């Protein structure tokens, strides 16, 4: 158990081209950014009505969004949905739903959860054993997990939620990548019983991370408390318009799940050709664990292909899906260059 008290400093994330440029100044541009788990096939862009920018967002439109989100995510009703400008800004608010105590985060995972719990005044720690979460006042896990794709079954989560609820605690399940399944493990349909907050991210699956839209699914009273903190007009006009249209587009959702599953298979095959085993992940990103991870990270970066490494776990990488054929080819070329250098290495050291 690693203590994280006071660890409120900013966290390193993927997805920054500015940082990539500093790290790999001689890499060919544009970068192929595989450092996030964001879908490269964005929901089709459309022209926004001018009023989406000029006018204050209408509360009726926000209600409509909550209704569609409830239906798509499987929450009991719109009253069980708080919409926010991204899930990120919700994290300290959700952590503040419980008075400061012991926050346990099932790790290794997305680092912002421990940071948000610390900001909310909790003594925050990461644990690697699911059963240890029952000791918490605030228990947090990501399901399926980022970056390794670990899935905890719904029944175990419901059991944990019941134990926490009995002592006034809270279970937070970040389902940021649940759009690509396994949806039968989602807790969205169970938030009505209280003591559970499910977080859902709009930008990742829909490939629209810039619009900033995320949701907390919870019992009605908790949703009211979160809504009060966010105030009116928390969701911007563009996010409202894209959210309403995209979340209701069930055909696009189904087609995209199938397409991404195919892309993930293709990525696994490509990595396999170069002897890189895939240790986990979701169909939006793959999780690699191998000893040569640093040389792979650098070799790809120098060829303008960015993947995600983790300062504290130097043996793993996360790699997102290429979008265009050109991106696939650049990844393949970079992998080939890395493999040939690796294959050469023994000869050099043992002439």
Nearest distance from C-beta of residue 221 to a second copy, angstroms: 13
Contacts with a second copy by CB under 8 A lie at 8, 10-11, 13, 15-18, 33, 36, 38, 42, 45, 50-60, 85-86, 88-89, 91-92, 112, 116, 119, 203, 207-212, 228-239, 242
For 186-273, list the strands marked E by DSSP. 196-201, 214-217
| Distance of alpha carbon 74 from alpha carbon 187, whole angstroms | 9
Whichever of 21 and 315 has its CB closer to a second copy, that residue is: 21
Is the Cβ of residue 74 or residue 86 nearer to a second copy in the bound state? 86
Q: Six-digit token pair at 85?
A: 């400008």
Tokens for 88?
């990120």
The partner residues of 318 in beta bridges, in order of sequence, read 287, 308
Cβ proximity to a second copy: between 47 and 348 the closer is: 47
Contacts of 200 (CB under 8 A, 6+ apart): 69, 73, 87, 175, 176, 178, 179, 188, 214, 215, 217
Q: How far apart are the first and last CA of the chain?
A: 46
CB of 204 to a second copy, least distance (A): 10
**Selection from 328, 252, 248, 321 nearest residue 43 by Cα:** 252
* Residue placing its CB nearer to a second copy in the complex, 112 or 126: 112
Burial label for 19, CB within 10 Å (0-12, 13-18, 19+), is: middle
**CB of 15 vs a second copy, minimal distance in Å:** 4
Per-residue tokens: 128: 């690697």
In the complex, the smallest distance separating the C-beta of residue 53 from a second copy, rounded to whole angstroms, is 5
Q: Give the nearer residue to a second copy in terms of CB position, either 3 or 228.
A: 228
For residue 306, the minimal CB distance to a second copy (Å) is: 12
The answer to whether the beta carbons of residues 210 and 82 sit under 8 Å apart is no
The sign one gets for the Cα dihedral 78, 80, 84, 87 is negative
In the complex, what is the shortest distance from the CB of residue 132 to a second copy, in angstroms, rounded to a whole number?
Answer: 26
CB closer to a second copy, 8 vs 339: 8
Pick the closest to residue 106 from 61, 63, 148 (CA basis).
148
What Å distances lie between residue 3 and 127, 133, 172, 344, CA to CA? Answer: 9, 14, 19, 43
- Give me the least distance between CB of 3 and a second copy, in Å please: 19
Nearer to a second copy, 20 or 283 (CB): 20
Closer to a second copy by CB, 242 or 297: give it: 242
The distance of closest approach from Cβ of residue 172 to a second copy in the complex, given in angstroms and rounded to an integer, is 15
Helix%, strand%, coil% for the chain, nearest 5: 45, 15, 40
């Amino acid at each position: 158990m690693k203590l994280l008290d006071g660890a409120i400093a900013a966290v390193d994330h993927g997805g920054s081209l500015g940082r990539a440029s500093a790290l790999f100044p001689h890499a060919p541009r544009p970068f192929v950014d595989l450092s996030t788990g964001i879908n490269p096939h964005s929901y089709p862009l459309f022209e926004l009505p001018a009023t989406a920018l000029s006018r204050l967002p209408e509360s009726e439109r926000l209600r409509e969004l909550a209704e569609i989100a409830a239906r798509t995510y499987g929450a009991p009703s719109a009253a069980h949905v708080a919409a926010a400008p991204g899930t990120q800004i919700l994290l300290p608010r959700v952590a503040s739903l419980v008075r400061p105590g012991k926050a346990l985060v099932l790790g290794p995972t997305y680092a912002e959860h421990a940071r948000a719990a610390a900001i909310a005044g909790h003594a925050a720690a990461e644990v690697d054993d699911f059963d240890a979460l029952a000791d918490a006042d605030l228990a947090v896990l990501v399901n399926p997990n980022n970056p390794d794709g670990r899935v905890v079954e719904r029944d175990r989560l419901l059991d944990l939620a019941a134990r926490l609820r009995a002592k006034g605690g809270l279970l937070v399940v970040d389902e940021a990548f649940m759009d690509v399944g396994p949806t039968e493990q989602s807790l969205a349909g169970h938030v009505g019983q209280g003591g559970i907050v499910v977080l859902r991210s709009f930008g990742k699956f829909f490939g629209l991370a810039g619009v900033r839209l995320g949701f907390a699914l919870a019992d009605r009273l908790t949703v009211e408390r979160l809504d009060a903190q966010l105030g009116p007009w928390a969701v911007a006009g563009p996010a409202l318009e894209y959210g309403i249209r995209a979340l209701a587009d069930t055909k696009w959702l189904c087609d995209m799940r199938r397409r991404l599953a195919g892309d993930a298979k293709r990525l696994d095959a490509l990595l396999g050709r170069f002897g890189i085993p895939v240790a986990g992940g979701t169909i939006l990103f793959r999780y690699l664990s191998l000893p040569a991870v640093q040389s792979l990270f650098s070799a790809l970066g120098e060829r303008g292909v960015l993947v995600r490494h983790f300062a504290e776990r130097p043996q793993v990488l996360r790699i997102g899906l290429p979008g265009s054929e050109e991106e696939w080819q650049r990844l393949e070329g970079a992998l080939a260059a890395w493999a040939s250098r690796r294959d050469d290495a023994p000869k050099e050291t043992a002439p």
